[in-house]
Amino acid sequence: MSCVQFSNHQNSSVTFIKVGVYYLTAICFLSSCKDTSFNQRIPVDESQTTIVFPFEFIKVRKGDVMDIYLYVCGQQPNLDTLILFSRSKTEEIKDNRWYEFVFFDSSSNAEFPKLDESALYIEPKVLKHIKAQYHFCRALSKTGELTFASPNLFDGKWSKIEVK
């Protein structure tokens, strides 16, 4: 009887050792496998990415040498958003024309300058509703200039920001 018990004890020990060896082998195997799918980034084609800006396009006047685009940006436009918008337009447009983007407080106040082929606003009643103006011409420079004032271009202190 003691032999049988010894034999059973020996079999369970062997079984325990076999299970331990299988377990250690599995752990070693799994730790040597590198699943890089968690660490890899999916490539993003940034040319397909579209940013939606919070500006409402009103109208455009295309001239012989200059295009003027009118937008509504609301009462308190975000300067960083205006800079991003300006940068996106600079990258988007590839020709050598002169471009003006004028941002008004409301669509009812958006109007073009009185002088043809000019982006010069001189009327105080119009300047009181302009929040910002961005202009660039690739033929002159690779950068544009954003003019921003709070509360508006008539009453506020102007800040000019070079946009690259």
pLDDT tens by residue, 32-80 = 444 433 333 444 455 667 788 999 999 999 988 899 999 999 998 999 9
Task: Let me know if 127 is exposed, middle or buried by CB neighbors in 10 A (0-12, 13-18, 19+).
Answer: middle
What confidence score (pLDDT) does residue 163 get?
93
Token pair 């544009």: residue: 144
pLDDT band at 154 (very low <50, low <70, confident <90, very high): very high
- Per-residue pLDDT of 94-144, as tens digits, reads 899 999 999 999 999 999 998 766 788 889 999 999 999 999 998 888 889
Torsions phi, psi for 157 (to 5 deg) = -85, 130
Instruction: Determine how β-strand 98-104 pairs with β-strand 66-72.
Output: parallel
Buried b (16+ CB within 10 A) or exposed e, 85-103: bbbebbeeeeeeebbbbbb
Residue of 62, 51, 127 whose CA lies nearest to 100? 62
| Rounded Cα distance, 102 and 131, in Å | 8
Residue 3 has pLDDT above 50, yes or no: no
Distance of alpha carbon 13 from alpha carbon 6, whole angstroms: 10
